[in-house]
Amino acid sequence: MSAPSDTTRTQDAAGLHDPASAGTGTRASWPASSSRGSEMREDGAGPSASSESREEDTLLRRFADTGDPRLQEELVKRFLPLARSLALRYRGASEQLEDLVQVANLGLVKALHGFDPERGRSFIAYAAPTILGELRRHFRDRVWEVRLPRGLQERTMAVSDAAQELAEEEGRTPTVAQIAARLELTQEEVSEALQADEARRALSLDAPQSRDDRESASLVESVGAPEPGYDAVEAQLAAAEAPLEDRERTVLRMRFEGDLNQYEIGRRLGVSQMQVSRIMRRALRKLLEAVQGKGSAGS
């Protein structure tokens, strides 16, 4: 699209300005080490931005016509600062900066192959969103430890970008309302994205508890586990309150403490083995009702 408003929005979103913008004379905010950032000195020495822009336009048109790998290599070298500057926007993420730069460079090559000079749009305005798209896709597909719905992932990335832009503009951390206004979202949607951004970061249980002391105990050592002793104590206390008859207590004690079978218990008590079985079932039912509650005794 060649509408000036679209180009301006794309450039602003990328944190860059196209030096070829009509009538503005604005210079691109490239790193000082790049050829694009070199200024015409007062003594007239050094290349001018307009001459470099014309030269790049010529190279872009020739590459679009021929696809010459040598032209691609030359153009990649010229626009590498653009790719790196966009990768730096995500330098606080979990990925290494070198990996992000590599993804941005791949996005730059993709932009070179998809750019059409005949449409009248500047290459920077076209390449910036292409490179940012590759960076976001990289995070969405390969970096997120906790898989979130794609729409929420994209909103989280947009909220992160807007928060960084507002922080640079205002010199302080932006509020949820400011981010919502910038992205035309509700505050609830921004809050959800911020929470998702925190929840997606998984921390290894082998990591030390203290970031300052690498020799400190690992997090896994602080993770609690169920303690069966509490349940045993509670069961014993509840069983002590069970309404057992003396004969029922005697049968249970002989069976589980004395390890006698039903035949031996019956011979000692002078009852049949069948009677011992009935006494045990009745006693165990009472214990179950006392420990688990009457509602679950039937199960």
Same domain, 8 and 139: yes
87 assigned to some structural domain: yes
Tens digit of each residue's pLDDT (9 = 90 or more) over 218-238 = 766 777 677 777 777 777 777
Same domain, 112 and 162: no
Enclosing domain of residue 122: 4-143
pTM, whole model, 2 decimals?
A: 0.39
Q: What is the pLDDT of residue 125?
A: 87
Same domain, 93 and 158: no
Identify the band that residue 209 occupies on the pLDDT scale cut at 50, 70 and 90: low
Percent of the chain's residues with pLDDT above 70: 70
215 assigned to some structural domain: no
Tens digit of each residue's pLDDT (9 = 90 or more) over 137-169 = 777 666 555 566 778 778 887 888 888 788 878
Query: Residue 194 pLDDT > 70, yes or no?
Result: yes
Query: Residue 108 pLDDT > 60, yes or no?
Result: yes
Same domain, 168 and 191: yes
Q: What is the pLDDT of residue 184?
A: 92
Question: What does the pLDDT average to over 256-269?
Answer: 89
Residue 288 or 211, more confident: 288
| CATH classification at residue 284 | 1.10.10.10
Q: What is the pLDDT of residue 10?
A: 39
Same domain, 178 and 272: no
Q: What is the pLDDT of residue 26?
A: 32
Query: Residue 70 pLDDT > 70, yes or no?
Result: yes
Same domain, 256 and 160: no
Same domain, 80 and 164: no
Tens digit of each residue's pLDDT (9 = 90 or more) over 11-68 = 443 444 333 333 333 333 343 333 344 343 444 444 555 777 888 888 888 988 888 8
Identify the band that residue 6 occupies on the pLDDT scale cut at 50, 70 and 90: very low
219 assigned to some structural domain: no
Same domain, 244 and 266: yes
Query: Residue 294 pLDDT > 60, yes or no?
Result: no
Q: What is the pLDDT of residue 142?
A: 63
Query: Residue 109 pLDDT > 90, yes or no?
Result: yes
Q: What is the pLDDT of residue 9?
A: 38
> What's the structural domain count of the chain?
3
**SS3 track for the chain:** CCCHHHHHHHHHHHCCCCCCCCCCCCCCCCCCCCCCCCCCCCCCCCCCHHHHHHHHHHHHHHHHHHCCHHHHHHHHHHHHHHHHHHHHHHCCCCCCHHHHHHHHHHHHHHHHHHCCHHHCCCHHHHHHHHHHHHHHHHHHHHHCCCCCCHHHHHHHHHHHHHHHHHHHHHCCCCCHHHHHHHHCCCHHHHHHHHHHHHHCCCCCCCCECCCCCCCCCEHHHHCCCCCHHHHHHHHHHHHHCCCCCHHHHHHHHHHHHCCCCHHHHHHHHCCCHHHHHHHHHHHHHHHHHHHHCHHHHCC
Same domain, 134 and 172: no
Q: 202, 221, 250: which is the final residue of a domain? A: 202
Same domain, 24 and 139: yes
Among 6-10, 23-27, 118-122, 135-139, the minimum mean pLDDT is found in: 23-27
54 assigned to some structural domain: yes
197 assigned to some structural domain: yes
Q: 123, 143, 163: which is the final residue of a domain? A: 143
